[in-house]
Structure 1
Amino acid sequence: MIINTQGAEPGTAPGEGSEAARGTFRPRTYVDHVLEHWNRDEDTEALVQGAERLTRGQARRRLFGLGHALRRQGLGPGDGVGLFLANRVDSVLVQLAVHLIGCRVVFLPPEPGPGELAALVEQSGARAVVTDPLFAERAADAAVRSVHAPALLSLGPCARQCPDLLALAAECPDERPDAVPAPGADEAVTVLYTGGTLGRPKLAAHSHRLYDTLVDLAQEDQQDSGPGFFPPMTPGTDRVLAATLLTHGSGHLTSIQALVTGAALVVLPEFEPGAALSVLREERVTATMFVPPMLYGLLDHPECVPGALPALRRIVVGGAACSPRRLQQAVDVFGPVLSQGYGQSEALGITAFGAADLASGAARRPELWSSCGRAISGVEIEIRAEGGTAALPAGQVGEVCVKGETVMLGYHRDPERTAAALHDGWLRTGDVGRLDAEGHLYLVDRAKDIIVTGSTSDNVYSRVLEDFLLTLPGVRDAAALGVPDEEYGEAVHVFLATAGNTDVDPAEVGAAVTAELGDLYTPRGTTLLDRLPTTKVGKVDKKALRAAWSAPAG
């Protein structure tokens, strides 16, 4: 933690009161780093989304108004605030405002259906939920289902009878709210959804140490000595595009990297290749992050040709495995600007492969196109045998285990699953991989059975889907797999063991899944069986199911 020991309190605009004037100091937060930039060159653009363009001064004042508005709703340090938001400029500001007043951010992604969303809100213990007007009906339903009934706030006018947070903020002072005590070392400040079983979600909780590390990494990148997430930034000149969801780890990290370095953040409301290409070109974007299907969609667009995006200096690819062939194609089109990264909700940064290292290394060793890079600064990686604690030698395959400041505190309000995932500071990622002699990590499978699919490479959690399938009439057993798919990398395929003399209609199954869990979980294929194969210990044998699915017919 960096301590400010001279001058005015970071993030205090000229003419405002400060803790320095009162002879007291508090630790700097990442929000202070953002405000240090927003207090200078006030007419420089800070946040952009289409026609909405906020200067640094406008962004700072709106942020402070939102902080006051949240406080006037009775929210204080340590309270959880659920954010059920679309990609908007104001979504970025609300997230900053929640941290500014010492509350805990609880990201509520838009994928879960009503049952899982309600369980997520309940598990998080959020005192309030801020919803995008587009999601207001779903948010209200989740709040009603929750036992502790959090307050509902809308980010703009909506059909529901709930306070409009933007209207409330417009009536509040545009000076910084009073300072709050610094969070404790083991206090959760951000919580991300990372799956779980139906009705019992897992929420990865992170402390302020994550943000301290992100600031340090950004400063390393500024000196061109870091892991290569983004090129060195020039405040007031560089422009970063947030194309993935702001309520997911990838979008959150992209926005934080941009804001703490003083770059302008351009928010893409929804990804469509033609629209994304236009924004990249017209906004002179210098850096962005894409999941593989986004990159593929861009590469397949007829206007995406060499020289089309001269300002672009870095594309970070992550969120799912990327085809080595497509990575090489991207370098042919955009030049040596591609970086790769690996992380998960439980450890938001694990490895990175800088653009220069990837380009030069792959020319020497083509297999490096399949690597997701080496450990970032401050992170240790070991490959361990199942249930083991000793590191395996280079080249051997096992579970990826990591340790460092980007690793979560644990699963929020879930000590049992925390104990299973964390031991002596080491996180069992559930991913299977190997390290080469130079420390490059290669992922070979996902032990957690997460299916990564959809146009934005979102997660489908097999256990959640399987639990719901078992509630349907005539379904005796169920298993969900991710199978190869040309468009999305993986598609959801379900195997159902049906009760005797019972007809199960796959179309009706798909409709029921969509209604309860959302479009992302809708099976693209269904196989009906008399029974599912099992291992010797009685678990469903998904390897056998995968082999049966891929075996040629006849």
Structure 2
Amino acid sequence: MIVNAQQTSEPRTYVDRILEQWHEDEGVEALVQGAQRLTRGEARQRLFGLGQALRRQGLEPGDGVGLFLANRVDSVLVQLAVHLIGCRVVFLPPEPGPGELAALVEQSRARAVITDPLFADRAADAAGRSVHAPVLLSLGPCEEQCADLLALEAECPTVRPDGIPAPAADEPVTVLYTGGTLGRPKLAAHSHRLYDTLMGVAEDTPQDSRTNFFPTMAPGTDRVLVSTLLTHGSGHLTSIQALVIGAPLVVLPEFEPGAALKVLREERITATMFVPPMLYALLDHPECVPGALPELRRVVVGGAASSPSRLQQTVDVLGPVLSQGYGQSEALGIAAFGADDLASEGARRPELWRSCGRAITDTQIEIRGDDSTVALPVRQVGEVCVRGETVMLGYYEDPERTAEAMHDGWLRTGDMGYLDDEGYLYLVDRAKDIIVTGSTSDNVYSRVLEDFLLTLPGVRNAAALGVPDEEFGEAVQIFLATAEGTDVDPDAVGAAVTAELGDLYTPRKTILLDQLPTTKVGKVDKKALRAAWVS
């Protein structure tokens, strides 16, 4: 007899809940990626086998495990397996360059790094720089010197690993990368409170339209597509919310509008999440016409600023399916706007198309001034501060920056905005210097880019801005103050950035100046740069 939930009085984890679902109707599909289709029973056995294989590598509860994974079914299972054996998930997204990735592995104290074969060379380089000498495992054979985790799984019994204690209330179980500097990344650490909240949402009926991003997901009726990266907050939450209620999860390996339309149609997808450039590309595809996706009931858009006209176009083409969500790595759920609310309220108040909704259930939002302690009046712009169960514990192993970001349970998001008299939140700018760009709306962290630019010959000072871009929302533009008598080649600078930090960081435009404007306290005045140089 297979035990699916721990037979003790210990708290039930979200993995227990998923296993309870997978124990019922074992022939029902659970995970799908193209021709790979796993039933609930098969997924459960794979999960147990992966958990056993990881334990055989010497991993113990509380150990950190870095996940450098592409979108695939095996990636979903291995993330669950890490939590199943009581280890800490450390998501390693593909954006960071070699130096930042190595610092991320080091600071997270990862005892193992599990990589997709596509990323094996980068994973091996990062692991090799860590003093912790993490074990390197691959999801399949690869040329690097790492063990094939899938081959190890095949040799293990498909029974649940035993002797795993429940995580403590404030134990970090999931860590997400959220930028930083080349040598000191920021790692947002979350406890099981986040997953307890998701379980409560899934099991709470009737559901409030602002409770979560998929307010109508229900077992037996929904099929969910995850199209954003599984190692980002959006992809992680999409997959967990689907699995907790027993909905089949379809994984899109890589976003391309034609392929996405085909999967949405053929897999009869009812709910999914897109970042704005994905949604726009889908709308621009010639086959995306009214009636093309009759099964689709919910499309969540989030992760970056959205165009109100494009949101209205979505409703015109796909029907009243659109929901909006606002969150960040430090608080994976802050505000939401349900499709029903958007359809009805948006007609009454057109300005709501610029809103990101109201606070989700059990979450508080305040707009605060410069001292970050006093709430500002309605419609006055200040920093968005939030408190609730989806807020991080803090930055992992970083009490100094945790103290800067959090006070009395309130998180300073770094985003600037205001609330209207009905509690709708409007974002107007980012205090944090994050540029959201690329076909999948990935993050370019200005500080990381600026730190690298300052290592280049002839560069005295540097600033990076996100400038409007019709295709990707924002593009990277850099400003360099060059040393007198030096000849800095913008093309060479761009090539150096690409080589060290990756294509996402490649500047669209480079402006050379004698000096950068500064504020009264000596910081680079990016507002002045934007006003003078960004049209």
Q: Report TM bin, short chain.
A: over 0.9
Q: Is 1:495 aligned to residue 479 of structure 2? A: yes
Alignment counterpart, residue 108 of structure 1, candidates 92, 107, 110: 92
Q: Name the counterpart of 2:502.
A: 518
Distance 2:217 2:160 in 1: 27
Distance 2:54 2:23 in 1: 22
Aligned with 1:90: secondary structure? helix
C-alpha contact (below 8 Å) 1:81/1:105 kept by paired residues = yes
Alignment counterpart, residue 402 of structure 2, candidates 414, 418, 421: 418
Q: Is 1:365 aligned to residue 349 of structure 2? A: yes
C-alpha contact (below 8 Å) 1:462/1:481 kept by paired residues = yes
C-alpha contact (below 8 Å) 1:491/1:524 kept by paired residues = yes
Q: 5+ unaligned residues in a row in structure 2: which ranges?
A: none
C-alpha contact (below 8 Å) 2:212/2:360 kept by paired residues = no
Distance 1:488 1:530 in 2: 30
Q: What residue identity is the alignment partner of 2:93? A: P
Q: Is 1:169 aligned to residue 153 of structure 2? A: yes
TM-superposed CA distance for 1:550, in Å, is: 2.7
CA shift in 2, pair 1:476/1:365, >3 Å: same
Distance 2:423 2:5 in 1: 46
Q: What residue identity is the alignment partner of 1:265? A: L
Q: What residue identity is the alignment partner of 1:423? A: H
Alignment counterpart, residue 325 of structure 1, candidates 303, 309, 312: 309
Q: Is 1:473 aligned to residue 457 of structure 2? A: yes
Q: Name the counterpart of 2:192.
A: 208
C-alpha contact (below 8 Å) 1:33/1:260 kept by paired residues = yes
CA shift in 2, pair 1:19/1:329, >3 Å: closer
Distance 1:109 1:52 in 2: 24
Q: Name the counterpart of 1:139.
A: 123
| Deviation digits for residues 407-466 of structure 1 (CA, Å, limit 9, x no counterpart) | 000000001000000100000000000000110000000000100000011110000000
Distance 1:175 1:333 in 2: 47
Q: Name the counterpart of 1:187.
A: 171
TM-superposed CA distance for 1:147, in Å, is: 1.8
| Deviation digits for residues 524-548 of structure 1 (CA, Å, limit 9, x no counterpart) | 1100111111111111010111011
Alignment counterpart, residue 22 of structure 2, candidates 13, 22, 38: 38
| Deviation digits for residues 483-507 of structure 1 (CA, Å, limit 9, x no counterpart) | 0001101000000011111111111
Distance 2:4 2:518 in 1: 67
C-alpha contact (below 8 Å) 1:384/1:401 kept by paired residues = yes
Q: Name the counterpart of 2:319.
A: 335
Alignment counterpart, residue 76 of structure 1, candidates 60, 64, 87: 60
Alignment counterpart, residue 278 of structure 1, candidates 255, 262, 273: 262
Aligned with 1:536: secondary structure? coil
Alignment counterpart, residue 530 of structure 1, candidates 494, 509, 514: 514
| Deviation digits for residues 77-98 of structure 1 (CA, Å, limit 9, x no counterpart) | 1000000000000000000000
Q: Name the counterpart of 1:427.
A: 411
Q: Is 1:263 aligned to residue 247 of structure 2? A: yes
Aligned with 2:49: secondary structure? helix
C-alpha contact (below 8 Å) 2:2/2:159 kept by paired residues = no
Q: Name the counterpart of 2:469.
A: 485
> 5 Å matches for 1:339-488?
339-488=323-472
Q: Name the counterpart of 1:3.
A: none
CA shift in 2, pair 1:544/1:226, >3 Å: closer
CA shift in 2, pair 1:491/1:15, >3 Å: closer
Distance 1:255 1:57 in 2: 18
Q: Name the counterpart of 2:47.
A: 63
TM-superposed CA distance for 1:403, in Å, is: 0.4
Aligned with 2:273: secondary structure? strand
Alignment counterpart, residue 509 of structure 1, candidates 478, 488, 493: 493
Distance 1:403 1:224 in 2: 19
Distance 2:426 2:163 in 1: 45
Distance 2:234 2:205 in 1: 18
Q: What residue identity is the alignment partner of 1:508? A: A
Q: What residue identity is the alignment partner of 2:473? A: G
Distance 1:101 1:320 in 2: 34
C-alpha contact (below 8 Å) 2:5/2:12 kept by paired residues = no
C-alpha contact (below 8 Å) 1:224/1:232 kept by paired residues = no
Q: What residue identity is the alignment partner of 2:494? A: G
C-alpha contact (below 8 Å) 1:123/1:200 kept by paired residues = yes
Question: Which TM-score applies when normalising by structure 1?
Answer: 0.95
Distance 2:155 2:148 in 1: 11
What percentage of aligned pairs have identical amino acids? 81
Distance 2:229 2:198 in 1: 19
Aligned with 2:90: secondary structure? strand
Q: Name the counterpart of 2:144.
A: 160
CA shift in 2, pair 1:138/1:163, >3 Å: same
Q: Is 1:87 aligned to residue 71 of structure 2? A: yes
Aligned with 2:20: secondary structure? helix
- More displaced 10-residue stretch of structure 1: 160-169 or 246-255: 160-169
Distance 2:250 2:157 in 1: 26
Distance 2:378 2:166 in 1: 42
Distance 1:220 1:77 in 2: 30
Distance 1:432 1:18 in 2: 43
| Deviation digits for residues 243-275 of structure 1 (CA, Å, limit 9, x no counterpart) | 000000000000011000110000000001111
TM-superposed CA distance for 1:145, in Å, is: 1.1
The size of the alignment, in residue pairs, is: 535
Question: Which TM-score applies when normalising by structure 2?
Answer: 0.98
Aligned with 1:263: secondary structure? coil
| Deviation digits for residues 50-94 of structure 1 (CA, Å, limit 9, x no counterpart) | 111101100000000000000000001100000000000000000
Q: Name the counterpart of 2:236.
A: 252
TM-superposed CA distance for 1:235, in Å, is: 2.1
Aligned with 2:204: secondary structure? helix
TM-superposed CA distance for 1:223, in Å, is: 4.0
Q: What residue identity is the alignment partner of 1:152? A: L
C-alpha contact (below 8 Å) 2:228/2:273 kept by paired residues = yes
